[in-house]
Amino acid sequence: MRVPSRAKGRTRKSNLAGVRILRRQHKVSQTHVGTPVARSLVRFRRVRRDVQGHLPSILNRGSATRSTVGRVEGLSHDAALHASRNFRFGVANGVMFTLVDALIAPTLVMAWFISRLGAPNVLVGLLPAILNGGWFLPQMVVATRVQGLVRVMHWYRRVGIFRTVCMSLLALVTLLLAAKPDLLLATFFFIYILYAISAGMSGIPWLEMVGKVIAPRRRGSFFGLRNFWGGVLALLAAAPIGAILSEQLWGLTFPYNFAFLFAVTAVVVGIGIGSWASIREPDAIVIAPPVTIRRLLRRGLEVV
């Protein structure tokens, strides 16, 4: 079927008119884009597009960080938030008590002290046994009181203060009872036994907190750094300790030189207790039910 020539002419005219309209709109848009208002609108659209693209990541960054921190190295969320701080204070605690072991070594310093007081060899040999027994024996009783608690820092703080007081009293009685060696010897053993027992009472709470605040993969480096820097500090303290024991420091004679050594030890003990007490303890995730001494004894027999 043929289209009339008039219809063809009209169609061509309409197409040409449409093309002219499109060209005119394109020129107008290009003209307006160059104006300051148009440039501002273009920039606004770009900024809005960029903000919309980054807004979800900004909003989710906090929650993603929290969820990541909560899963760091097997620690709870609260423990992971303070992992670095707790690690540093834990290492400082170990360094201080390694130095304490060097300052009042039972096989050297304490043995020399009570030998000068006239103690028999049996009492000299009891010094390491008292320290080891005082560390292990109270732990069964403490375990019955600590197990089932959400936090155990209060136990450590109280016992730590008592340990510091015991060492301070030892320095004081050595100074006051210098003219009475027999009374000083008896008082020394009484205070030394209390100090050893208090150290054992803090053992279980300390281990509980280590499990909560030190990541499993960092426990090797944790104990390694404690022992390494504590050993370095003890090695550096060997010369001053030797000078104190040989009565060559400031002319301090026996037993005043030991009184000074015990006072220094009390300060170091206080610093070590304060370092561990500065740890931010999280709540326990898994809490075991309380246990009795009878149940612990039965469990021990089953293990044997």
pLDDT of residue 205: 92
CB of 278 within 8 A of CB of 93?
no
Q: Which of 162, 173, 196, 147 is nearest to 258 (CA)?
A: 173
pLDDT of residue 71: 44
pLDDT of residue 37: 45
Q: Residue holding tokens 């060997």?
A: 238
Burial of 165 (0-12, 13-18, 19+ CB in 10 A): middle
pLDDT of residue 94: 96
Q: Which of 268, 148, 142 is nearest to 205 (CA)?
A: 142
Residues of the chain under the 70 pLDDT cut: 1-73
CB of 149 within 8 A of CB of 212?
no
Q: Dihedral angle at the C-alpha atoms of 98, 157, 208, 166, nearest 10 degrees?
A: 50
Q: Which residues contact 27 (CB under 8 A, 6 or more apart)?
A: none
**Average per-residue pLDDT for the chain:** 81
